[in-house]
Amino acid sequence: MKSGEFETGVPGYLKRRHSDSGVSGLTKEGIQMSLRKKLIGDKAFYKMVLAVAVPMMIQNGITNFVGLLDNIMVGQIGTEQMSGIAIINQLMFVFNLAIFGAVSGAGIFCAQFFGCGDIKGVRHAFRYKMYICLAIVLIGGFVLAAFGDELTMLYLHGEENGPALQATLGYARDYLKVILWGLLPFGLESVYTSTLREGGETYISMKAGIVAVFVNLILNYLLIFGKFGFPEMGVVGAAWATVLSRYVQMLIVIVWTHRHVEKMPFIRNIYKSFKIPGALAWKITLKGTPLMINEVLWAAGMAILMQCYSLRGLDTVAGMNISSTITNLFNVVFIAMGSAIAIIVGQLLGAGKMEEARDTDTKLIAFSVFSCLIMGGLLVLTAPLFPLFYNTTENVRYLATVFIRIGAAYMPLHAFMHAAYFTMRCGGKTIITFLFDSAYMWCISIPVAYVLSRYTGLPIIPLYFACQMIDIIKCIVGAVLLKKGIWMNNIVAKE
């Protein structure tokens, strides 16, 4: 790494080797000391990690908290409205992860280009992100606009609730018509934000996210319920609030980036040329395409799992919606830690510091899992409180509470899998990442859920528990892959 450049992501702690990490002897005390040194960092380490991860935790935490408030506001209108939005958001989740996968593929190169101080390389990777995200916006917008009703109907089951199902479909249709206008700002903001984060700049995205979620919250209150002279628009108002907040977030990030060229020099003359070296574009495509396909398949797999669960009735859809909203609020720790691994370990790999990358990655994973043990415990204790804020039935509240507690028990496992995924990804092992993530889901998780939901009378709670806990196998596979160190690669050394 060049002196004075891009040091936000990899502070001085990581510039020294941990030559004292070994402990001789096989005594009990020696083994314990060796384990502590392997899994636990010093004060400087955690200061560095928190400097990178906390802004993302704050942004994601506020976003999910306001999402919770949004969900509660819509839930005050009725269960059908809440379920309609939940179904569309499940479909939007596929689009969002397609964008995430697109920027992540080029982002592997961005992080390593930042690590070796190659501004021109970052600039080319940024342009690649722009092209692929615009393509996804066009394709995703067409699919959702043309087949929205058909996709929504996949989640509506239970002939005894015919009128409720039709009402849910109508609310979902109304919400989708508006939310489509938010695809473009989401895609553009993702291109800028991901590149800034890969360069170690996480604060501006945090600030933009905070502003956006409060805009969303205020507009939700005004437009859903028709306060202070605004029209009462219900689910349509919720959609417009989301769309407008996305434009606000996009503008803040873009304007800041172009006004701070000295901090992010890659943005200078970024649109003066739209060319990308053919060799680099091909290399990013080879590494990035499996990653993008993985994200799309994983998101589609999650949508199919939800569809399997929805066979148990509309109450299950409503309960899952409440549960996912609450667990997302607590999941911000391991989500941010995954991104921190991508930034910190990715830059170390780009700088050629392989042993430091391994040591740092081990400590980051341990920190993420331990943090989620605490967060999961808190969620188990507080689970019954959250469904009380919703204007829904007792059965929906009961299901939501149980789903939340299952999610809390699953959280440390998810933290480990998330960290393993980002570790393999930052080393450019996208084919292995694909097999570890979406291939496992489609070959193991989905068949199990499909068979149990369609060919057994298993109630939704044991069904959901079984489908979640089968990922223990995935954790074992991830541990083996991490120990082998196959992810330790510098993919930009010859660029």
Task: Answer yes or no: are the C-beta atoms of 299 and 89 closer than 8 Å.
Answer: no
Q: Name the least confident of 104-118, 173-187, 309-323.
A: 104-118
* Tokens describing residue 17: 């080797």
Residue 13 and residue 86: Cα distance in Å, rounded?
A: 44
Of 221, 464, 217, nearest to 324 by C-alpha is 464
How far is 387 from 394, CA to CA, in rounded Å?
9
Flag whether pLDDT at 23 surpasses 50. Answer: no
Q: What is the average pLDDT across 333-357?
A: 85
DSSP of 399-449:
HHHHHHHHHHHHHHHHHHHHHHHHHHHHTT-HHHHHIIIIIHIIIIIHHHH
Confidence label for 348 from pLDDT (cuts 50, 70 and 90)? confident
Question: Is the per-residue pLDDT at 106 higher than 80?
Answer: yes
Which helix (H) or strand (E) segment holds residue 361: the answer is helix 354-382
Burial of residue 134 (number of CB atoms within 10 Å: 0-12, 13-18, 19+): middle
The yes-or-no verdict on residue 469 having pLDDT over 90 is no
What does the block give as tokens for 484? 């082998």
pLDDT in tens, 201-253: 878 888 898 898 889 889 989 999 899 989 999 889 999 998 999 999 999 99
pLDDT value for 365: 92
pLDDT of res. 34:
67
Question: Can you tell me the distance from the alpha carbon of 396 to that of 4, in angstroms, rounded to the nearest whole number?
Answer: 55
Asked if pLDDT for residue 18 goes beyond 50, the answer is: no
Buried/exposed code over 357-369 (b: 16+ C-beta within 10 A; e: otherwise): bbbbbbbbbbbbb
Surface-to-core class of residue 46, CB atoms within 10 Å of its CB (0-12 exposed, 13-18 middle, 19+ buried): middle
User: How many whole angstroms separate alpha carbon 133 and alpha carbon 114?
Assistant: 21
Max mean pLDDT among 130-144, 355-369, 418-432 falls in 130-144
Q: What is the mean pLDDT of residues 366-372?
A: 92
State the pLDDT at residue 405.
95
| Overall residue count recorded for the chain in this entry | 495
Q: Per mean pLDDT, which range of 182-186, 191-195, 308-312, 324-328 is the poorest?
A: 324-328
Judge whether residue 82 has pLDDT over 90: no
Whole-number pLDDT of residue 30: 59
Could you tell me if 321 and 71 are in contact, meaning their C-beta atoms sit under 8 angstroms apart? yes
Reading the block at residue 91, the tokens are 């479909």
What number is the average pLDDT over the span 272-278?
A: 87
Residue 495 confidence (pLDDT): 44
Kindly write down the DSSP assignment for every residue of 231-271, as one continuous string.
---THHHHHHHHHHHHHHHHHHHHHHHHH-TTT-GGGTTTT
Give yes or no for residue 20 having a pLDDT over 80.
no
CA-nearest of 346, 344, 9, 335 to 196 is 9
- Assess whether pLDDT exceeds 60 at residue 5: no
Q: What value, to the nearest 5°, has the Cα angle with vertex 57 and ends 51 and 58?
A: 95
Q: How high is the pLDDT of residue 346?
A: 82
DSSP for 61-126, written as a single string: HHHHHHHHHHHHHHHHH-HHHHHHHHHHHHHHHHHHHHHHHHHHHHHHHHHHHHHHT-HHHHHHHH
Confidence of residue 116 (pLDDT cuts 50, 70, 90): confident
Helix (H) or strand (E) holding 219: helix 203-225
The answer to whether the beta carbons of residues 41 and 363 sit under 8 Å apart is: yes
Q: Rounded distance, CA 251 to CA 204, Å?
A: 12
The amino acid at residue 71 is N
Tokens of 167: 């009402």
Calculated CA dihedral for residues 94, 99, 104, 105, nearest 10 degrees: 100
List of residues 6+ apart from 63 with CB closer than 8 A: 209, 212, 213
Mean per-residue pLDDT, 284-288: 84
- At a CB cut-off of 8 Å and minimum separation 6, what does 451 contact? none
Pick from 408, 377, 385, 387: nearest CA to 319: 387
Structure-model confidence comparison of residues 157 and 423, the more confident one: 423
pLDDT of residue 458: 92
